Amino acid sequence: MRRQLSARELARSCSREADPERAAHGSSALSAAGVSLRAMTQSAGGGDDSERVAWVTGASRGVGRGIARALGQARWTVYVTARSSAAGRTGHLPGTVEECAQAITAYGGRGVGVVCDHRDDEAVAAVAARIAAEHDRLDLLVNNAWGGYERLNAGAWEEWNAPFWQQPIELFDAMFTGGVRTHYVTLARCTPLLIATAGSAVVTVSFTVTDTERQTLGAAYAAAKCADDRLAQSAAGQLRRYRVASVALHPGLVRTEGVMQYADHLDLDGSQSPEGVGRAVVALMRDPGLMDLTGQVLSVAELAERYDLDVAS
């Protein structure tokens, strides 16, 4: 079995590359022979993964909260981070890290809410160090924090749909500084702990920007989402030998609090729930062929079919 790093060893390992031979040793692949994939993952909302630890960023509301809740239903210990807290929210939309953590615990898991501005590198490192000290493992990092919707959530619908040359540069900065960069930094700080944990993975939440949608979603948004996809794929290439999976996850249109503000402008047929996205993540983490998927861009719709999941409700 793969040796797990202690918190002290983790701190030292941040300054050097871990031993790939040790990391690969004993990462026992589960044989799927004679076992249906659906059978292996069918209880994505109700199984027992009580020894497993996850960190979901940007989890006070929206997709992050949905993923965190689904992990709670599967009895994970889930650290949830965001800026919105009982002491103050970042905008008018509901949701705090404390409320999300309480919901995880109520579902049967263990929720730990930590106020964290992911643009603050030291704050991110402090959360990683806390997880190492308290659990000495990290089975799953969900990179979901995303500052790119702040202006839209505040009511800037026309700005969001304007041509890129009419959009403020601040919108681009928010997507990269409050989105792509936060994902990179969080993954970099967590990687030693992921390497030390057998069967671990990082899921980077992104979005499919088709050729048609590039005409409407804006150049900044398209560039940021493509960057997230490339981050997930590039990380997979370097993490593969340590048996750490890295995928980009593409939800469809999700009925988040922010989206539902603009329900009159949107066709919600076939839309997904935040919790439905979460069920897809839980099932993915139970997949014995997880490493076969590393480096891929996975849509929630495809995972729903693969694992026979309801992602709409």
Q: How far apart are CA 65 and CA 81, in angstroms?
A: 10
Residue 118 φ then ψ, to 5° = -75, 0
Dihedral of CA atoms 54, 93, 301, 201 in degrees, nearest 10, equals -20
Type of residue at 255: R
The answer to whether 128 and 155 have CB atoms below 8 angstroms apart is: no
List the catalytic residues.
221
CA–CA distances in Å: residue 17 to residues 21, 132, 184, 188, 195: 12, 17, 17, 12, 10
CA distance 129 to 193: 9
Identify the bridge partners of residue 286 per DSSP, sorted by sequence position.
none
Helix segments in the chain, DSSP class H: 7-13, 20-24, 37-41, 62-73, 97-106, 121-135, 150-153, 157-160, 169-175, 181-195, 214-217, 219-239, 257-260, 274-285, 300-307
CA dist 109 and 74 (Å) reads 7
| Cα dihedral 50→54→58→62 (10° resolution) | -40
Query: What distance in Å separates the CA atoms of residue 135 and residue 211, rounded to the nearest whole number?
Result: 44
